[in-house]
Structures are given as structure tokens and as C-alpha cells.
């Protein structure tokens, strides 16, 4: 007795968080009629993806563990422009749940957004730990929208994905839009940017895509209305025959897309994470 100098508090912080409650509170932050198309969902998905997509399987560096995307060094990478909107929106929840790591909060926000905007259930585990600015990865690990299939493969093979998984992941471009103030590109991919659908694939195949006439970076618009867009990297999924097989499959079969997206997105959010052995897998119920 009286031996223990250290606190006898043994519960790790990740176990002190009610994740069902965090899920509900993130869901409560999605809608805002004054922001973009009325929802923070798309930018939450992009935050979760960019937090995770720095992973390099060879050096086992990067990934969502560490929550390093919040540090100036990484937040300042060009590809991460605009993600402060998502981080700032989530910040009150970090105050409300001081035991959740930023790394868990940002990845969970992506899961909530996918599910609440009508997408599939995405399996998610807690237990990521935050790291310091020194753990930020160098710039250049995320894909460049101006490039094609070879570049897309280089980037996603580095993370450990195959062609099928890459084609499933890019279906997230059913959500949200490009902002000239963030990436330089402009416009939404389809008419329902706050619903998780297989419309990325149907639009890609069924619309005629022509170069946009403007002074901005090279991109495509649909010939008929001029309202919707594709990035050069998106068009690679139509032109490349291996990617296109999956585009055709997911355009024809929304259930197949949902199933494959859920698996690949869950894998993305876990790249490089050393989870505690007793971290449970959550399959959250969608609200309402």
C-alpha cells in the first residue's frame, strides 16, 4: 500500500468516450443552410479522406493516426485548402468530449456524413492517438486532380489499394463540389451533392463531357447544362479500361457500389493505425 507513485487511473482516454453520443452530435452539425449546398457532410468526408490518404505502406508513415492534419504544416498543404471549415465546425465537439482524439473525431465525422447523407454503414473503430507536428508527412502524398490514371494508381497503390477499391472510393465524388477558392476547380459533380448515391458513375458514363471554357484550370463540364463538372483525374476512370469495368458495374448496381465503398472507406480510415487490442468495431445506426 502507498506504493504507487503514478495515478491508479488505468482507463485509456479512448474508452471514456460515448461514441454513439459523438455520432449523434456530429450528425447535428451537418445541416447549415448558409454553408455550400446546405450540408457540411461533403467536406467532413473530404477531411476524413485527406487525414488518412497520406499513408505510405512501405515506410508505414502517414494515415489518420495522429490527427496531424490539424497542424499548420500539414493543414497548409495545397490539397488541404478549405478543410479548416470542417475542422472548425467539429472543434466544439473536441471541447465537449475532451477524451476523443482529433484523429478519431475526424475519421468518425466522415463515417457520420456518409451514413447520414444516405450512404452505407461504415465499420469504424476508436483508439487513434494524436501526435505532434513533427509527425506530419511531407507535401505531395494526395492525388493531383490535373493528372490521369497512372498518377492515380501511383498514389493509391502506395496506400495499398487495388483498382477495384480505387474505383469504389472515387464514387465519393457524388458528394459536394469544387471551389475556386480551394482547389481552383469549379462546380458540383451532379444535381444532388448532399446525397450519397452512385451518380458519380452514372454521370461519368451518361453525360457528354467537354472542356470548360474559362481562365481557370483545365476541367470538364457536361455539354448539355454546363452545370456539372469532372476533374481530369475523374475522366481517367472513364478512359482507363480497367477502372471503367468498375465504373460500369457501380453505375448499374448501386448496392454493389455501397458494399464496396463501405469496405474501402473503412480500410482507408484505418491505414497505418495501431488500434488497441480491445477496440470494438462500431456499426452505427443511422438517425431517424
As annotated, the active-site residues are 50, 189
Shortest Cβ 67–ligand ZEM spacing (Å)? 18
Interaction of residue 183 with ligand ZEM, rule CB under 6 A: yes
- Whichever of 17 and 262 has its CB closer to ligand ZEM, that residue is 262
Name which of 17 and 77 has its Cβ closer to ligand ZEM. 77
Q: Out of 19, 106, 257, 265, name the contact with ligand ZEM by CB under 6 A.
A: 265
Residue 63 in the binding site for ligand ZEM (CB under 6 A) = no
What is the length of the chain? Answer: 288
Closest contact distance (angstroms) between CB of 236 and ligand ZEM is 7
Comparing CB distances to ligand ZEM, the nearer of 17 and 113 is 113
Q: How far is the CB of 222 from ligand ZEM (least distance, A)?
A: 17
Q: What is the x/- site pattern for ligand ZEM, positions 206-235, by CB under 6 A?
A: -------------------------x-x--
Nearest residue (CB) to ligand ZEM, 15 versus 57: 57
Among 57, 131, 182, 267, binds ligand ZEM (CB under 6 A): 182
Between residue 22 and residue 51, which ones bind ligand ZEM under the rule CB under 6 A? 42-43, 45-46, 49
Residues that bind ligand ZEM in the complex, under the rule CB under 6 A: 42-43, 45-46, 49, 82, 143, 145, 152, 169-170, 172-173, 175-179, 182-183, 185, 231, 233, 265
Amino acid at each position: 500500500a502507498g506504493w504507487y507513485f503514478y495515478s491508479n487511473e488505468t482507463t485509456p482516454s479512448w474508452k471514456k468516450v460515448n461514441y454513439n453520443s459523438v455520432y449523434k452530435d456530429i450528425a447535428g452539425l451537418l445541416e447549415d443552410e448558409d454553408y455550400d449546398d446546405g450540408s457540411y457532410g461533403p467536406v467532413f468526408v473530404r477531411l476524413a479522406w485527406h487525414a488518412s490518404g497520406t499513408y505510405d505502406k512501405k515506410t508505414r508513415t502517414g494515415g489518420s493516426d495522429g490527427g496531424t492534419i490539424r497542424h499548420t504544416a500539414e493543414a497548409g498543404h495545397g490539397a488541404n485548402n478549405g478543410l479548416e471549415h470542417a475542422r472548425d465546425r467539429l472543434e466544439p465537439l473536441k471541447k465537449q468530449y475532451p477524451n476523443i482524439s482529433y484523429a478519431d473525431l475526424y475519421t468518425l465525422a466522415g463515417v457520420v456524413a456518409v451514413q447520414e447523407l444516405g450512404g452505407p454503414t461504415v465499420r469504424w473503430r476508436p483508439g487513434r492517438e494524436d501526435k505532434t507536428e513533427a509527425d506530419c508527412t511531407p507535401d505531395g502524398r494526395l492525388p493531383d486532380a490535373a493528372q490521369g490514371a497512372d498518377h492515380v494508381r501511383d498514389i493509391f497503390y502506395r496506400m495499398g489499394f487495388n483498382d477495384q477499391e480505387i474505383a469504389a472510393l472515387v464514387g465519393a465524388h457524388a458528394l459536394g463540389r469544387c471551389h475556386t477558392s480551394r482547389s481552383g476547380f469549379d462546380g458540383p459533380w451532379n444535381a444532388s451533392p448532399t446525397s450519397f448515391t452512385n451518380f458519380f458513375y452514372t454521370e461519368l458514363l451518361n453525360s457528354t463531357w467537354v472542356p470548360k471554357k474559362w481562365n481557370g484550370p483545365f476541367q470538364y463540364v457536361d455539354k448539355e447544362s454546363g452545370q456539372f463538372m469532372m476533374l481530369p483525374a475523374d475522366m481517367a476512370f472513364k478512359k482507363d479500361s480497367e477502372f471503367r469495368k468498375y465504373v460500369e458495374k457501380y453505375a448499374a448496381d448501386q448496392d454493389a457500389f455501397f458494399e464496396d465503398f463501405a469496405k474501402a472507406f473503412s480500410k482507408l480510415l484505418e491505414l497505418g493505425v495501431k488500434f488497441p487490442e480491445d477496440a470494438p468495431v462500431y456499426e452505427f445506426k443511422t438517425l431517424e
